[in-house]
Amino acid sequence: MSKRSELQRPRRGAFVLVTLLAFWGCAVGPDFVPPKPPEASGYTADRLPQATTVADGRVQHFELGGAVPKDWWQLFNCPELGPLIEQAVAANPSLQAAQASLRQSENLLRAGYAVFLPHVDAGASAARERNFSPSTNLPATTFNLFTVTGTVGYVLDVFGGERRQVESLGAQADLQRYEAAATYLTLVGNLVNATIAEAGYTAQIETTSRLIATERDQVQITETQARAGTVPYVNVLTLQTQLAAVEAQLPQLQQKRTQTRHLLATLLGQEPAAWQSDHIQLAAIEVPRDLPVTLPSELVHQRPDILAAEAQLHSTSAQIGVATAAMFPQITLSGSYGSSSTSTGDLFSGPAAVWSIGAGLAAPIFHGGALWFQRRAAIDNYEQSLATYRQTVLGGLAQVADSLRALEHDASQVEAQSRQETAAREAWRLTDVNYRTGVADYLQVLVANVQYNQASIARIGGQAQRLQDTVALLVALGGGWREAREQ
């Protein structure tokens, strides 16, 4: 061998070492870049008004760019909501399951970090053997063999496959964290909504019961007049039909209230038979006056479902690196040290010691295209997650837009219903005055009372809907959970 070739050998070895070290500092596969937030400055095509119409004595102002407070339910100025939410957070099974999933993903992430450390194992064995060698014509020997060994192994993550796998586990932990936050937000939103619904149904039941009592009096008076021949009997049938229609509405309202109470018990982590409602009055829940509206560019960082979709996208991006690294060689370092002897007393003496040290290289040569298509499948999975993320963002923007428009329409509806109720109440009052002065009969008073009660029922429904749409807006904006976590 020439002197030149002898000098080139260490240079080639150094080149290989430098190449491996260069790969060690990087990881194959794309580095994850979060998608860009929406560029729109608003949620609706036309400009959002600064405030709604005054309805039921309340106007709601929209503060564009404001942050939703962490305890957003306090905006309703109903102290009874706080203890209910605390009880639900402490006992709701769905939230407990989400929190357990979060802990599981965090522990899997901690387990994944172990790949960056050497694996050390110890072993011991004891055997009794009989050895016979025909070539030496020596008699067979029987002996005991005791062995104690310790092994160390380490995988050189040259192409970053293990790092990408840990990155994916970290993204999965983020996903579960945001899923738990989404569960919490949904739980609180459903609880406040159900509380409003129960209060609304109770108010409508009370008003409907008064209406039924009034119409029964009306039917009795008309029956008396029909027997006296002052009115035709068809008037009695008409009023009886109207009474039956109103009476049919009462069981429906009672059933809805019962179902709502069962839902409340479930949200609070209790059996329906073991929970008693606090009977919060609808009048005790105020319509919030000032509503913060997060900008669309910040919404993607505030809604947990969007953040969960982004974490899933991050995880699938890292899996592309895992699939890419599987196409490259894998280098492992290993070593062992132990002792083997026919006597336990000689296990730790010098002559009984055995050891080994080495390195291994495993390179894929031919897998029938499996590794290539697995990488393509990882890319397809990433593209699917990207489309899901975009759809989640669009859905979130649409929910906020729907809620904003709903509050505008709710205010207009409640304002009209309030005017209708006021007019009906004044008509009832004037008719009653006319009755007392002898200008109108009692039947006219009852009819005016029925119209007033019907207007009250409609206004109660509109008021409850306005409150629930306010809850929908605050939940659609992310409910302030991120602010609560950062404080």
Domain ranges across the chain: 25-118+157-329+369-486
Q: How many CB atoms lie within 10 A of CB 409?
A: 14
Lowest mean pLDDT: which of 21-35, 52-66, 312-326, 436-450? 21-35
Sign of the alpha-carbon torsion through 394, 396, 397, 398: positive
Highest mean pLDDT among 127-136, 146-155, 447-456, 462-471: 462-471
Q: Place 482 in a pLDDT band, splitting at 50, 70 and 90.
A: low
Is 101 exposed, middle or buried, given 0-12, 13-18 or 19+ CB atoms closer than 10 A?
A: middle
Lowest mean pLDDT: which of 24-28, 71-75, 199-203, 353-357? 24-28
472/463 Cα distance (integer angstroms): 14
292/479 Cα distance (integer angstroms): 11
Q: Place 354 in a pLDDT band, splitting at 50, 70 and 90.
A: confident
Per-residue confidence (pLDDT) for residue 351, from 0 to 100: 66
pLDDT at 241 > cutoff 50: yes
> What residues pair up with 335 in beta bridges, in sequence order?
152, 357
pLDDT at 487 > cutoff 50: no
What percent of the chain lies above the pLDDT cut of 70? 91
DSSP state of 31: P
pLDDT at 404 > cutoff 80: yes
Q: Place 134 in a pLDDT band, splitting at 50, 70 and 90.
A: low
pLDDT at 486 > cutoff 80: no
What percent of the chain lies above the pLDDT cut of 90? 64
Per-residue confidence (pLDDT) for residue 412, from 0 to 100: 94
Per-residue confidence (pLDDT) for residue 136, from 0 to 100: 62
Which tokens go with 136? Answer: 């030496």
Q: Place 447 in a pLDDT band, splitting at 50, 70 and 90.
A: confident
pLDDT at 342 > cutoff 80: no
Per-residue confidence (pLDDT) for residue 138, from 0 to 100: 65
pLDDT at 160 > cutoff 60: yes
Q: Which residue has the higher pLDDT, 444 or 184?
A: 184
Strands (E), 49-172: 61-64, 119-131, 141-156
SS (H, E, C) 275-286: CCCCCCCHHHCC
Q: Place 439 in a pLDDT band, splitting at 50, 70 and 90.
A: confident
Q: Place 135 in a pLDDT band, splitting at 50, 70 and 90.
A: low
Q: Which residue has the higher pLDDT, 311 or 45?
A: 311
For residue 475, give the amino acid letter.
V
Measured CA distances, 62 to 51, 223, 381 (Å): 6, 55, 40
Per-residue confidence (pLDDT) for residue 25, from 0 to 100: 53
| Closest by Cα among 173, 177, 167 to 115 | 167
SS3 for 41? coil
257/199 Cα distance (integer angstroms): 9
pLDDT at 20 > cutoff 50: no
Tens of pLDDT, residue by residue over 182-226, are: 999 999 999 999 999 999 999 999 999 998 998 898 899 889 989
* CATH class in words for 25-118+157-329+369-486: mainly alpha
The phi-psi region of residue 368 (left if phi > 0; otherwise alpha if psi is between -120 and 50; otherwise beta) is: left
417/459 Cα distance (integer angstroms): 5
Mean pLDDT, the chain, integer: 88
Sheet strands side by side (includes 141-156): 119-131, 141-156, 330-341, 353-362
Per-residue confidence (pLDDT) for residue 16, from 0 to 100: 44
Per-residue confidence (pLDDT) for residue 14, from 0 to 100: 45
Task: State mean pLDDT over 131-154.
Answer: 78
pLDDT at 140 > cutoff 60: yes
Per-residue confidence (pLDDT) for residue 350, from 0 to 100: 60
pLDDT at 465 > cutoff 90: yes
Task: State mean pLDDT over 59-80.
Answer: 93
> What residues pair up with 339 in beta bridges, in sequence order?
148, 353
Q: Place 324 in a pLDDT band, splitting at 50, 70 and 90.
A: very high
